[in-house]
Amino acid sequence: MTDEKTSSPVATDGGLSAEEQRVVDEIEENDIDFLRLQFTDILGTVKNVAVPSSRAKKAFTDGIYFDGSSIEGFVRIQESDMRLKPDPSTFAILPWSDGTAARLICDVIDTSTGDPFIGDPRKVLKDALERADKMGYTVNVAPEPEFFLFEEDEDGKATTKTSDAGGYFDLAPKDLASGVRRDIIYGLEEMGFEMEASHHEVAQGQHEINFEYDDALSTADNVATFRTTVRAIAAQHDLHATFMPKPIARINGSGMHTHVSLFEDGNNAFHDESDEFNLSETAHAFLAGVLEHAPAITAVANPTVNSYKRLVPGYEAPVYVAWSDRNRSALVRKPAARVPAASRIELRSPDPSCNPYLAFAAIITAGLDGVEKGLDAPDPIRENIYEFDESTREDYGIDTLPANLGEAVDALKSDEVIQGALGEHIREKFIEAKSVEYDEFRVDVSPWEIDRYLESYWLIFSSALTKSIEGHRNAVHTEGVKDETRLSAAILLVAGKESANPSSSKQGIPVFRPGGNATEF
């Protein structure tokens, strides 16, 4: 047997590597009953296969097979066999399972080739990181996922009634959910997270929990784990946690501001003490690449119809393609850094409904494209862009993000760089799924429309129609039309004719005769 210290991975027991054997030992030591082998579909939904812990060795050596045709965006039924290959570095005991279950995040293997499956979102991110590695960089990412906690009804179904009345940074008694956040943090720490901070967000029932930055792949794994953990522990408190970007109208939505930096030979490649903003040429070029590809990134980082209810001016969400070192109205911000290692950029548009593997891959690829091409970042905007009118934005050269999912998908279709980041398989499946989603939204009739229009029978007048109505009101009254319904009909008939043909000076005024027919004079 090869010495463990001189070669890695090492076959220590039954063909297992040293790290795999460590996991098997930990499973036995902690009396784990079940293993949940997790992966995500292209939409970011966490899927899992549960196996008895006795099959842990087999999972590592042979993998666990499953039907890929049943997973969103994977394969057709005639090519359905897929294999899960657990990543031993992701082993964690699930804190809400009373210590009886653990999880392993898996890579998906195409059984027809034995290679990593091109439709696996985790592979997409790995490919982006491989590109960075060839350029000499490692990528660190730190997200700030926000979420809402809602009460459940008597049947255990989610409502949109918030669990508290707190606001930004509030304490108890207004922030009644501080105990829930505490339990979530304890659970995340048990799973290996290094926590940074937690607080109540701006909207009632809205919260943010931040964890330390890490390499991009580990961070994407952590985001998937975070969403699962938050939901599970919230449910233990009879609450429903949602990462829907905008669950309540006319209040702040939930974002996932994403901090990114590149390191080269152990040093922060984004830092330059001599620069006005302490950003290196590499950082400026990376930032320029993100701005260049921002519309297409939006399709991936804001992937739902509801995402665009958040991306509107006035609710702290960015909609303008610009950057700043000071204010938060820009799409990209350069946060203050206490030490060189903390120099980074913050993309403020992503929301927590995204697939973190695909979103990070898109952001990283866009930035690396800027570095490879040596793109120049525009000057920062230090004013509040929300206060700019359209003319001022045009003078500054500030574009806007897509206004809806349809526009975002169109932007993705026209951006070869971001399409390349996703790969042909996921690009095709993602665009297909999102186009269907947007089409379903467009043909749906919302409760807002029913409330607004179902019982409405007054016309919304054009300015010409309104003027014409006023001009004829006295004339119609003079003819003795007393009935209010007939009066309204008479006014609208003649006014409508005049507004449709304003050049005509000979418009007849209808008069209702006793028989109910309108005649003109």
346 counts as catalytic: yes
Q: Is residue 13 part of a domain?
A: no
Residue pair 330/318 in contact (Cβ under 8 Å)? The answer is yes
**CATH number of the domain residue 73 falls in:** 3.10.20.70
Can you tell me whether residue 471 is helix, strand or coil?
helix
Return the closest-CA partner of residue 17 out of 28, 25, 6, 9. Answer: 9
The yes-or-no verdict on residue 511 having pLDDT over 50 is no
Q: Is residue 457 part of a domain?
A: no
Catalytic residue among 208, 221, 351, 415: 208
Catalytic residue among 175, 292, 346, 415: 346
181 counts as catalytic: no
Q: Is residue 152 part of a domain?
A: yes
Please report which confidence band the pLDDT of residue 155 belongs to, taking 50, 70 and 90 as the band edges. Answer: confident
Q: Are residues 431 and 473 in the same domain?
A: no
Mean model confidence pLDDT for the chain: 84
Which residues form the domain of 319? 126-449
Catalytic residue among 20, 110, 164, 201: 201
194 counts as catalytic: no
Q: Is residue 10 part of a domain?
A: no
Strand-pair category, 510-512 with 206-211:
unpaired
Q: What confidence tens digit (pLDDT) does each residue in 184-235 have?
A: 999 999 998 888 877 676 578 888 888 888 999 999 999 999 999 999 999 9
Q: What confidence tens digit (pLDDT) does each residue in 275-323 have?
A: 999 999 999 999 999 999 999 999 999 999 999 999 987 777 899 999 9
- Those residues whose C-beta lies under 8 Å from the C-beta of residue 71, and which sit 6 or more positions away, are 41, 47, 82
Q: Are residues 315 and 440 in the same domain?
A: yes
Q: Are residues 299 and 441 in the same domain?
A: yes
23 exposed, middle or buried (CB, 10 Å; 0-12, 13-18, 19+)?
buried
Choose one of 98, 116, 134: the last residue of a domain.
Answer: 116
Catalytic residue among 20, 144, 175, 221: 144
Q: Are residues 357 and 493 in the same domain?
A: no
208 counts as catalytic: yes
Q: Are residues 146 and 175 in the same domain?
A: yes
Q: Are residues 105 and 144 in the same domain?
A: no
Q: 72 versus 98: which is more confidently predicted?
A: 98
Q: Is residue 334 part of a domain?
A: yes
The tokens describing 63, both together, are 């993998």
Return the closest-CA partner of residue 279 out of 202, 332, 205, 201. Answer: 332
Catalytic residue among 55, 328, 393, 473: 328
Q: Is residue 1 part of a domain?
A: no
Catalytic residue among 20, 146, 272, 415: 146
Catalytic residue among 293, 348, 427, 472: 348
Strand-pair category, 101-110 with 34-40:
parallel
231 counts as catalytic: no
Q: What confidence tens digit (pLDDT) does each residue in 406-454 have?
A: 999 999 999 999 999 999 999 999 999 999 999 999 999 999 999 999 9
Predicted pLDDT of residue 25: 96
Q: Are residues 392 and 309 in the same domain?
A: yes
Our count of domains for the chain comes to: 3
Helix (H) or strand (E) holding 264: strand 256-264
67 counts as catalytic: yes
Please report which confidence band the pLDDT of residue 158 belongs to, taking 50, 70 and 90 as the band edges. Answer: confident
Q: Is residue 438 part of a domain?
A: yes
**CATH number of the domain residue 220 falls in:** 3.30.590.10
Please report which confidence band the pLDDT of residue 470 belongs to, taking 50, 70 and 90 as the band edges. Answer: low
Can you tell me whether residue 414 is helix, strand or coil?
coil
Q: Are residues 350 and 393 in the same domain?
A: yes
Q: Are residues 274 and 321 in the same domain?
A: yes
25 counts as catalytic: no
Catalytic residue among 103, 240, 257, 427: 257
The yes-or-no verdict on residue 487 having pLDDT over 70 is no
Choose one of 425, 449, 473: the last residue of a domain.
Answer: 449
Q: Are residues 305 and 444 in the same domain?
A: yes
Q: Is residue 391 part of a domain?
A: yes
348 counts as catalytic: yes
Beta bridge pairs of residue 196? none
Q: What confidence tens digit (pLDDT) does each residue in 356-409 have?
A: 999 999 999 999 999 999 999 999 998 888 889 899 999 999 999 999 999 999
Q: What is the mean pLDDT of residues 465-481?
A: 53
The yes-or-no verdict on residue 176 having pLDDT over 70 is no
146 counts as catalytic: yes
Q: Are residues 267 and 182 in the same domain?
A: yes
Q: Phi/psi of residue 409, each to 5°?
A: -65, -40
Choose one of 395, 414, 449: the last residue of a domain.
Answer: 449
Q: 210 versus 348: which is more confidently predicted?
A: 348
Q: Are residues 154 and 84 in the same domain?
A: no
